[in-house]
Structure 1
Amino acid sequence: MIVLECLFLTIAPCDAAEPWQLGSQDAATPMMQGIIDLHHDIFFFLILIFVFVSWILVRALWHFHYKKNPIPQRIVHGTTIEILWTIFPSIILMFIAIPSFALLYSMDEVVVDPAITIKAIGHQWYWTYEYSDYNSSDEQSLTFDSYTIPEDDPELGQSRLLEVDNRVVVPEKTHLRIIVTSADVPHSWAVPSLGVKCDAVPGRLNQTSISVQREGVYYGQCSEICGTNHAFM
C-alpha cells in the first residue's frame, strides 16, 4: 500500500476511492488534472459519435423494415458516404491525438534539479522508501519500510486495507523525483490522485516527477499482480 502525506497545518480529507465511485479522484498534481481534462474532452467526442451512430441505426431500422421494402434495393458502392466516413473519423482522431501526445510527453519530462528524491523499492508485499537527500546520524540515507495495517487491526478513522504503519511525507508545491524499482518480482507504484503509475522492475530504475499542489493524504496500491498478498500491498 502506498500512502503519501503532504505537509499541512490543518486536517485535510483523504484522497481515496469511494463506494460506487464512477469518476476519477480529485487531482492533486498538474499531471492528473491534465489526464482528467483529456478524459472529458474525449468523452465529448464519444457522446457525439454515440448519438450519430444511434440515429443512423434507428433510421435504417425504420426506413428499411422488411414490410416497407419487400424487395431490398442492392447498393454496391456509395462513393460519397465512403469518403465521409473515412475523413470525419480521421479528423476526430487528430483532435484526440494532438492533446494526447502533448500530455504523454509532458508526463515523461523529468525535473533536472528536484528538491527531494525518493526511492521506492517494492517487496513482497511491502514498500521500502529511501530519502537519499537526507542522511541520518550515521550518514546513511533515511530509509524505512511501509507495511499495510492488517484489516483486523485498524484504528478509528483509518481506511481499511489502505492505511500503512509508516507514511511517506512530502512538501506541497515542490518538485519531487520518485525512483522506483523492485527487489524481487515486478510491482507497480501507483497513486491515482497524483496521476502516477510507475512500474517497479527488478534490476531496473524507473523514475517520474511530481509536484503535489494541495495538502492532503493520498492513498495508492500496487497495480501489478505480484503474488498471494498483492491485494494487501
Structure 2
Amino acid sequence: MIAYGNESKSVRLEKIIKQEIAPKLEALAGPFTEKCIEYIISNSKLKQVAKDQYIEDNGSYEDGHLIYLYSGIAGSFYCPDLSSKTVVTRLWKKDEIMVDVNSFISKEDRIESIQMLEDGEIISIGYYQLKAAINEFPELHKLFPYLLIEREKYYIFYHHLLKLTVEERVNLFLKHNPTLINRINKDAIAQHLGMSRCRFSTAYSQYKLNKYN
C-alpha cells in the first residue's frame, strides 16, 4: 500500500470523501446518510495519474466510471473516423465530476476517452458499484439530473463557442480559463477550440498584445 506522508491511501481516501467531496455533493442533492458515505468510500479508488495517461477509454457502458478529478487537468476527446483529427470536447479541472450520464442511463457505448493533460489524482467508482449505490441510496438520485443539466449547459456553451471567430474563441476561452494556458499543452487547447495550433498561436499573440497595451 502506498503511503502519502503518514497516511495510507485508504485513510486519505476516507478523509477526502468525508471532508471535501461529500459536503459538495450534499450541497447539490441534500444530506447523505452515513451508510451511503461509507459505501462510496469502500467502493471508490484513489489513484495518482500522470500526464498523458488515459483514465477512461471509450467502449461499453459497463466499463465506464464516475471520476472525481481531485487535482490536475484532463481532456475528453473522440475521433469521428479513422482519418479525422482528434476532437477535444471538454477540458476538465479540479473538483469536476466526469461521467457519461447518457451512457449510464441509456446503457449506450461511450464514444469519448479521457486523458490526463497534467499530473493529478482521481477518485473513481465503477459502473456496477455506482448502479448499486443509486438503487440502495435514494439520496443519490438527485445527483444525476444535476449532472445531466450541467452537461447540457456546457455543450450548449461549447457549440456557441465554436460558432465564433478564431479571435473570439481564444478570448472567451482565456476569460473562463485564465491559468490553463500555462499548465497544459497548447495543442490540446487548439483542438478544443476547433483550430490549428498555428491559428491559435497567432490569436493568442494578439490577445496578449491587446491585454498588455
Q: Shared fold (TM-score greater than 0.5)?
A: no
Structure ID, larger Rg: 1
Higher RCO (Cα < 8 Å, 6 or more apart): 1
State the TM-score, normalizing by the size of structure 2: 0.27
